[in-house]
Amino acid sequence: MAVIFITGSDTGIGKTNVVGLLARELSELGDTQVIKPVESGVSAGRPADAPQAAGDWATPITLFSFGPAQAPLAAAAQVGKKLSLQNIVKAYQAVSPAEHQIIEGAGGLAVPIDPLGLDWTDFAHAIKPDAVIIVVEDRLGAINQARLSVAYLKRKYNGRMGVWLNMVSRTVSPETAQANRTGIKQSKISLAGESSYQNKKVIFNPEFWS
């Protein structure tokens, strides 16, 4: 079973889009699940992430869902629920296995998911996925975001990891996009892939996936 954990350098940078791209690709190789351990804000009129990413080609699974559009701990507290790393991991481990699991974290990598301050790096350490991919918005500042995120992740997780550049804005110049890729390579960070909302361009880096 291949387990891929998708997290991000921030919220709103296209993690769900990347999860959907991976789900479509992996579904051609076997049974695929899209798992959202924690989600908040669905009641605010936004569609749930797991079904949106899973589409018609993967099985969507949401472990904890809270209505308020807040960070995980705040959203849980507002509806009188308790959230902890232990119960998230326990719920994940109870999911029936599939050939491929793509897990999407909530918000950015360092968002707390436990009252003790534990976050998605601790989740990655606990479940030991085959790879962790950090989605970074492809814009000016992406090199800094990639370096900070990878350095932070390495404090708790020493497995395979890479960055996925996702272009959200049309204002990114070709020069900035190229500089981002050069800077990430010079930082010895693996580029797992890249995508763009506008032209639906998707590139998987074969060196990362081999």
Q: Is 188 among the residues known to form the active site?
A: no
In this structure, the chain runs to a length of 210
138/143 Cα distance (integer angstroms):
9
Cα–Cα distance between 1 and 32 in angstroms, integer?
Answer: 10
Question: Which is catalytic among the residues 15, 36, 90, 201?
Answer: 36
Tell me if residue 188 falls in helix, strand or coil.
coil
Tokens of residue 15, six digits = 């993690």
Q: Which of 204, 209, 142 is nearest to 178 (CA)?
A: 142
Interatomic CA distance for residues 149 and 8, integer angstroms: 8
Cα-flanking dihedrals φ and ψ of residue 103, to 5°?
Answer: -110, 130
Q: Please name which of 20, 22, 84, 91 lies closest in space to residue 62, comparing C-alpha atoms.
A: 91
- Cβ within 8 Å of residue 83, ≥6 positions away: 38, 64, 72, 73, 76, 113, 114
Looking at the DSSP bridge assignments, the partners of residue 7 are 134
Positions marked catalytic? 36
